[in-house]
Chain A
Amino acid sequence: MTITRETSLERFEQAVAVMSQLPAVDWDDLEQAAEVTREIAHRIGDDRELLAALVDRAMVVPELREKCEIHTLDDKIVIWDEPAKGLRIRLRLANTKQYERVHNHRFSFTAYLLNGTYYHTLYATDQPLDETADVTRFWPRCIREERTGDILTLHHEQLHTTLTDPDTVSLMIQSPAQKRRAFMIRRSDGEVWWRVGAADEDEARRQEVRMSDERLAYWRERLVELGIC
């Protein structure tokens, strides 16, 4: 079917109508948030037409388009942003390059694996999370595989690593930022760095991570090939 401007608009309106009905999430109660976001994850992730409309919409809505980013390990397409309800929803699209970095997050989140596997490790440590951190003092405490169809919720303070199979795609529902920067340490050499939000990044960095139209088109097609939308 040829998608005309009118049919696109209709699809977008229908998608927005569904998204506007989503409940607010209280991220201060992680277990409750896990149950509420589980429902939301299924509502979006199990509806291919809805997800397709949301991705297409993200390509043309400037506030979402500018949030689509490329990174070494994974790319992201932001499909919904509603901080008042505690909802930023995006697709995490794994690249083939993988290395292990123990990290926490600026936000708590729920991930719904639409395709692929996470090789997931949760860590404990006994030291401050800064440049002085000793990489040998991050101890693996829980080793898991998250498989296609699994849903997990992680508190922003929990240290973890996720190695992924190629083409691992997850629907991420994340809380508003809980801190300015998140800690990261590379397991192989102990190098420490930080992840900050877009507001704390300079223009050069924003340009560097901005997803090109070609890349976005590639992922749109890949999502169809993987049967995700």
Chain B
Amino acid sequence: MITDVLEKLDLDWSDLPATHATTRELLTEIAADREGLRALVEQVRDQPELMQLCERHRLLDKIVVFDGGPNGVRLRVHISTREHRDRPHDHRFSFTSRILTGRYRHTRHELVGNIDSDIPWHVQDDADARLVDAKAVPRFATHQTAGSTYSLHHTEVHTTFTTPDTVSLFLRGPAEKERSLITERETGKLWWRYGADKERPDRRERKQMTNAEFDQLVGRLYKLDII
């Protein structure tokens, strides 16, 4: 069972090359085991603690299929929405991602200039975003296609400009910081992303996936031959 392997997964994310070697193999195995993946997705509906972690975002829907292990890993299935935007961002955690179907333009940026860390806690969505001096300058660009895998450190700022129906496996480590940043290149604005415990309640509520939405997404995964 995949969950048995995940339960025992003891990763040191500060050693990213070693962790990548392990997680790359694991995600390859999970991607190849369609029945296993189907069971993993289907069991979420019966687990309220996983269901409440599933989220709908403007660019991406996230189904959390596992949360646990000795030092905290979370395995998610990401499904792109119909909206695609150029939004350089970092993460609160390091992660490994494998594309199951679809593709996206992937850019790694260098953040040049200063970010005002006094931008308040409540700045948590694009409507409330603040103008900053810092600019995301591209340093590496590629197209991420089905079957490709990469690991990214939590300090990296990147953009994933998806195409519709792009689905990936996303294995994240424990949170390394309180918040991550997200910027929009068109507007030069920035806002924060917090973990669920520090998120603005109205935003938390808005993102929460309903059972009906979950069922609809699972239906899409069947249609896309992922599960």
Residues of A within 8 A of B (CB): 30-31, 34, 38, 121-122, 124, 139-147, 150-155, 157-158
Cross-interface CB contact of A140 among B16, B139, B142, cutoff 8 Å: B16
Q: Knowing A140-B17, A141-B16 touch, does A151 contact B142 (C-beta < 8 A)?
A: yes
Sample of 12 A–B contacts (CB below 8 Å): A31-B138, A122-B139, A141-B155, A142-B153, A143-B20, A145-B24, A145-B150, A150-B142, A150-B145, A152-B141, A158-B108, A158-B139
CB distance from A70 to the nearest CB of B (A): 28
CB distance from B140 to the nearest CB of A (A): 6
Cα separation A144 to B145 with both chains bound (whole Å) = 12
What is the interface of chain A mostly: helix, strand, loop, or mixed? strand
CB distance from A191 to the nearest CB of B (A): 21
User: Does B152 lie at the interface of the complex (its beta carbon under 8 Å from any beta carbon of A)?
Assistant: yes
Q: Are B152 and A141 in contact (CB under 8 A)?
A: yes
Q: Are A30 and B138 in contact (CB under 8 A)?
A: yes
> Size class of B's contact patch?
20 to 34
Cα separation A94 to B46 with both chains bound (whole Å) = 52
CB distance from B168 to the nearest CB of A (A): 14
Q: Knowing A143-B16, A145-B148 touch, does A124 contact B155 (C-beta < 8 A)?
A: yes
CB distance from A37 to the nearest CB of B (A): 10
Q: Are B148 and A152 in contact (CB under 8 A)?
A: no
A141 cross-chain contacts in B, Cβ below 8 A: 16, 152-153, 155-156
CB distance from A102 to the nearest CB of B (A): 13
CB distance from B37 to the nearest CB of A (A): 21
B160 cross-chain contacts in A, Cβ below 8 A: none
Cα separation A94 to B50 with both chains bound (whole Å) = 47
Q: Are B139 and A143 in contact (CB under 8 A)?
A: no
B24 cross-chain contacts in A, Cβ below 8 A: 145
Residue in chain B with minimal CB distance to A150: B142
Q: Are A142 and B152 in contact (CB under 8 A)?
A: yes
User: Does B149 lie at the interface of the complex (its beta carbon under 8 Å from any beta carbon of A)?
Assistant: yes
**Per-residue interface assignment for chain B, residues 178 to 222, with 1 indicating a CB less than 8 Å from any chain A CB and 0 otherwise:** 000000000000000000000000000000000000000000000
Q: Knowing A145-B149, A150-B148 touch, does A34 contact B156 (C-beta < 8 A)?
A: no
Q: Are A31 and B107 in contact (CB under 8 A)?
A: yes
**Per-residue interface assignment for chain B, residues 135 to 173, with 1 indicating a CB less than 8 Å from any chain A CB and 0 otherwise:** 000111111010111111101100000000000000000
The 10 closest A-B pairs by CB, nearest first: A34-B141, A143-B20, A144-B150, A30-B138, A152-B142, A141-B153, A158-B139, A155-B139, A153-B141, A143-B151
Cα separation A143 to B18 with both chains bound (whole Å) = 10
A31 cross-chain contacts in B, Cβ below 8 A: 105, 107, 138, 141
Cα separation A153 to B138 with both chains bound (whole Å) = 10
Cα separation A149 to B204 with both chains bound (whole Å) = 41
Q: Are B153 and A153 in contact (CB under 8 A)?
A: no
B16 cross-chain contacts in A, Cβ below 8 A: 140-141, 143
Q: Are A142 and B151 in contact (CB under 8 A)?
A: yes
Q: Are B140 and A154 in contact (CB under 8 A)?
A: yes
CB distance from B36 to the nearest CB of A (A): 23
Cross-interface CB contact of B140 among A140, A143, A153, cutoff 8 Å: A153
Q: Are A147 and B148 in contact (CB under 8 A)?
A: yes
A144 cross-chain contacts in B, Cβ below 8 A: 148-151
Cα separation A150 to B155 with both chains bound (whole Å) = 25
Q: Are A152 and B149 in contact (CB under 8 A)?
A: no
Cα separation A57 to B147 with both chains bound (whole Å) = 37
CB distance from B186 to the nearest CB of A (A): 14
Residue in chain B with minimal CB distance to A110: B141
